[in-house]
A = this chain, B = another copy of it.
Amino acid sequence: MDTSDLAGADPEARPLPATARGRRRRQSLLDAAREVFARDGFANARITDIADTANTAHGSFYTYFASKEEIFVALLRELEEELRSPGPRDVQQDGDGSNRVEPYEQILRANRAYLTAYRKNRAIMVAWEQVATLDAGVERLRREASDRFVQRIEKSIRHWQDKGIADPDVDPVYAAMALTGMVSNFAYRWSARDADYEVGKAAEQLSLLWANSLGIRTPRGPGETSISRGRSGRQD
């Protein structure tokens, strides 16, 4: 079986079941799949287990999904909302400065949201990475999700550069990919090891690195002692 590109074929081509019972059954298979994939990973998940977990004859699986890949993609689509990389979508156009969200604040929120979402679905996210190495369709899905995110960040960086609050030496394309990768890889590695996962601290540190790397001002108390300023000779 060549499963290298099933995921991309006709996304959403398969119509939902006609009856409520069918839709319920489909849903229970999806729920079961989420559980099994999270527990066993994609490669070790067996269709039989998914069907069993859904209390379904294993033939019924094929009423709704053609393959393990297909249900996995369906699962990812179901997760789309959560998975949709939560970029700084709340960037506000400043006109008056009153209501304006500081860039650092935007970054922090986005990173915190991302880490939180990743953490919540960590098992599936890890499986996603895994499947992306096996199935071209899933890889494409991942790349597309990633690209959308990267482009949003890229646009933000340009915006900040135009406003003179980000280092103009930074190439927005490279930076967007590097910084989003920094966060997602961090999330991945922290998930992989069962290390303590202190979202707040992680989000803060990642955001600090992110902001610093772009030369964006980070909040520090008055009389701040940041090297980045300190080293620049200044000092009040």
Contact = CB atoms under 8 A, between A and B. Distances in A.
A142 to B, nearest CB: 9
A230 interface: yes
A164 B210 contact: no
A47 interface: no
Nearest to A181: B185
B209 A178 contact: yes
A233 interface: yes
Interface string A196-210: 000001100110111
A146 interface: yes
B227 A193 contact: no
What DSSP secondary structure best describes chain A's contact surface?
Answer: helix
Interface string A213-226: 11101101000011
Given A182-B182, A230-B164, A231-B217, A139 B209 contact: no
Interface of A: 41, 43-44, 126-127, 129-130, 132-134, 139, 143, 146, 161, 164-171, 174-175, 177-179, 181-186, 188-190, 192-193, 201-202, 205-206, 208-210, 212-215, 217-218, 220, 225-236
